[in-house]
Each structure stands twice: as structure tokens, then as C-alpha cells.
Structure 1
């Protein structure tokens, strides 16, 4: 889906569908001559293969075939249903015996799987989901808790944050493009505008 002229092909992770809708609308209003074509995909290679002009990806290790900038840090905390937990902040160890929702093997979130195992939470995880958005939906339905990105959990009125952010689960967020495109004006404009928005949008209380 690599584009030319005044078109701009964007690939981003499924996690950011809600977060990016508003800044994309703002960008289109400010730059009406640039047409955005968006593909939602979890494959960072879409830009390295020139299938998209820009990729927005959470990753600790961006592909060497791409260049870009780190625009923020995705922080994560434990969240629960607001009605059940009543906005109560708790030390992590007090949540050990409660039901947990975790990622399944298809989700590929090794960092979260390792963290849950290291903290003895696997034995209390009776429900596993293949996406972070699925975990968010599951947490709304009862007493179980789960680790979610703060920008998702804080924006959900049905959820409340139960712990401080978990530093070892921080994930850098990158805007990436192919080296041949880094000086293209529409790439630079998009990176600056969306990058500034994401830096603010990922800030949590």
C-alpha cells in the first residue's frame, strides 16, 4: 500500500485504533491535500517491505531497515472494574489471590507472560485472551483484574487503576518509515503532528 504524490499510507497496531482516530481527523483537517490510507496491522514489517509509508509501532527493537523517532512510552498498570473495586489503589501483592485475565499464546506478549509468571499470577489466571482490547472488555465484566496500557484503562469509564504503573512493562512507541522517505515533506509533517499528539496522549495521571 505504499503511496505516492499527496497520499500517505499508514500502518498501525490494533491497540491504537481509538487513540489515533482523533489526531488523524485533525491532521486531515490541517492538511486537506494529503490523503491518508490506513491499514490496521500488527506486523511492523509492513513498512520495511514498502507496504506502507509509515508504521506506528510499540517495540523495544525497531527493525534496522527502518528509521524514525521514539514518540512516547506506553505505561501499563493493573485495572479492574470500577463498580467492583471502587477506585481503590492496592499494593500488587494484595491482588495475587484474585482472578486474573491474561494474554494467550497467540497474542505474543512475552513480556507480560513473563511478568505474570515471575509474580506468581499464572495459577490465578483462568481466562486468557488473544488481544489487549479483548482483555479490556473482559475486565469490565466482573471481579477479575488485568494489566492494560494506561492510555486504554484511564480512558475507560468502567475501569479503575488499581496499582502504580509497572516500570518493567514500559514499551517505547515509535513512528517508523523507510530511509528513502525520511526527507519527504508529507512524512515529516505527519511525524511531527502525530508524534506531538501521541506524546501527550500517552501521558497518564
Structure 2
């Protein structure tokens, strides 16, 4: 007798397809490797069909497995859609809000969270720090705080402030070298992990023949390398201006590149009480940082 599939079975099949290994699927599902192995065997036995070919380096779906995964993907999209719609009917600012932001904005965010806890004590925050855009459609996060000139069209949000950039160097590095042309300086570059950023685009367009002393994969490391005297770095003003020991090459921020700080969420969640309350608070809090974000706050001496 063929056993019927339930949603948990399909989730497991989809996880194995996505990860290609039982250990990867186990991590995705937050269960043990042995649980995935046992359940997959039971699913195949109940269906009377082999869903995966087993190889030394992983699992590859059979035609039956591909069919099951395609159906699982459609069902997952329906479940996520239903969760978002039902979540949007919540009328109370209560529960967990998942926020994704970058490593450079996390410090600014944390400064305001004690005040938010006082205003909304029934909202619990889960903060994820990542320089990749969280998938809000799949509920990896419910709010994204992002520096970007153009947010994805599938999201809705608020533009809080512009983000200005300037060229920074350590006091020791800039001593006696401030009048040199940009291309004559040593520079700290970005590796491919940050190749999509406006900073990387500006460097490709402006500094094609510049000397790079090193490359880094995170903006805090870019700041730290400049602070150590390895060369100049293009930084957002909210990061460079607050770093004692760095100063701008020019008094004013550069005209380009420009970006903006956005608070983003999914259309289906924007009217949820806890999401709306969090967005309202953060919009006001970050608006108070406008001078720092737009490069008009005086630098420390």
C-alpha cells in the first residue's frame, strides 16, 4: 500500500534536493543526520519509488525525486504566502520580529534598541547580520535595513536618509600626502564578495591603475586597514566619520557614489502590528542619524 505524503515529507525531500547531502538537509531542517536518513528511507518505502541516487559526494534526485521536489516547491510557496497573509491580520504589536542588516549598520541599530524595548516591551527582536540581501519572501527576515541606491521592486519600504561616502586615511598616512592625485596613493580594495557595492563600482571606474595594498571582504575590515595606515579607503561617512584616527581626504563628501538607507519589508507584512510598530520606531530613530549618514556631522578631532 502506498503511503500518502504530508508537508513534512515534502519539506525533507526539498531540503535534500537543495543541499545535495543529508547533513546539509539536516542543518536546514534543524534535525539530526540520522533523522533525515531514516525519514527519507521511510518516504521512499511508502511511495515504492526511489527519489534519490546515492553517490559518494552527495544525493542526486531521480525523475521521481525531481517531480516530488517541484510539487514541494509549489506547496512551500503557498504555505509562505498563507503565513504572510495571516500574519498581516495580526492587530497587536506583540511577538517576534526578524531583522536583517549589515555589519556596518548593526552598531547604529543597537544604539536604538534599548529605547525600542521600553516603547514596545512585547516585541522580541531577532537580529541577523549579513551583507547579502535577506529573502523576505521566504521569511528569512521580516524587515531588512539596507544601504542601497535601488531596493528590489518586490519589497516595500521607506527611504530614511541618503548615505554619503568620502575617502579616508589615517593621520599618519595622510601626513604630507594629502595633495597627491588619487591614483598616486596606496589603496585598500574589496574582493568579489563586495563586488556588487557602490564602493566597488566607484573604485572600478575611478582607480583602474591604482596600487592596491590588500583586498578585504568586509567594510569594517576596510576601515581597520585604513586605520592601520595601509592606504586610502572609500567608506560610508557613517562608518569613517565615527572612527577616531581616520580623517577625510577632502572636507566634503564625494558627489559619487551615493546610496540611501532603506527600511524594507514584504507587502503582505507591512500592516502587521508588530512589523508596523518596529518600522515606525526605526524610521524615527534612523532619521535622527541623518547628519551622520549624509556626512554633515562634524568629525572628531
Q: Deviations over 1:116-150 (max 9, x none)?
A: 23323543222111111110010011151110010
Structure 1 runs not aligned, ≥5 long: none
Query: Aligned to 2:210, what secondary structure does the other structure show?
Result: helix
Alignment of 1:50-199 (within 5 A): 50-85=139-174, 94-120=181-207, 122-142=209-229, 144-163=231-250, 164-199=252-287
| 1:43–1:104 Cα change, 3 Å | closer
Match of residue 27 from structure 1:
116
Tell whether the 8 Å contact from 1:89 to 1:162 is kept in structure 2 after alignment.
no
CA distance in 2, matches of 1:115, 1:22: 30
Q: TM-score, normalised by structure 1?
A: 0.87
SS of the aligned residue for 1:166 comes to coil
Contact 1:74/1:171, CA 8 A, preserved across alignment: yes
Q: Does 1:204 align with 2:295?
A: yes
Alignment match, 2:136: 47
Q: Partners of 1:186 and 1:89 in 2: how far apart?
A: 52
Q: SS of the counterpart of 1:133?
A: helix
Q: TM-score, normalised by structure 2?
A: 0.61
Q: Distance in 1 between matches of 2:286 and 2:177?
A: 26
CA distance in 2, matches of 1:140, 1:42: 22
Q: What is the number of residues matched between the two proteins?
A: 202
What RMSD, in angstroms, separates the aligned Cα atoms of the two structures? 2.4
SS of residue in 1 equivalent to 2:184: coil
Work out whether residues 8 and 34 of structure 1, in 8 Å CA contact, stay in contact via their aligned partners in 2.
yes
In 1, are the aligned partners of 2:191 and 2:216 still within 8 Å (CA)? yes
Question: 1 or 2, which has the higher helix percentage?
Answer: 2
Higher RCO (C-alpha under 8 Å, 6+ residues apart): 1
Could you report, residue by residue, the CA deviation over 1:81-104 in whole angstroms, capped at 9, with x for unpaired residues? 134436x9957x633211111111
Deviations 1:18-49 (A, max 9, x none): 12110122211221111111111223243122
> Which runs of 5 or more structure 2 residues have no equivalent in the other structure?
1-82, 88-93, 297-301
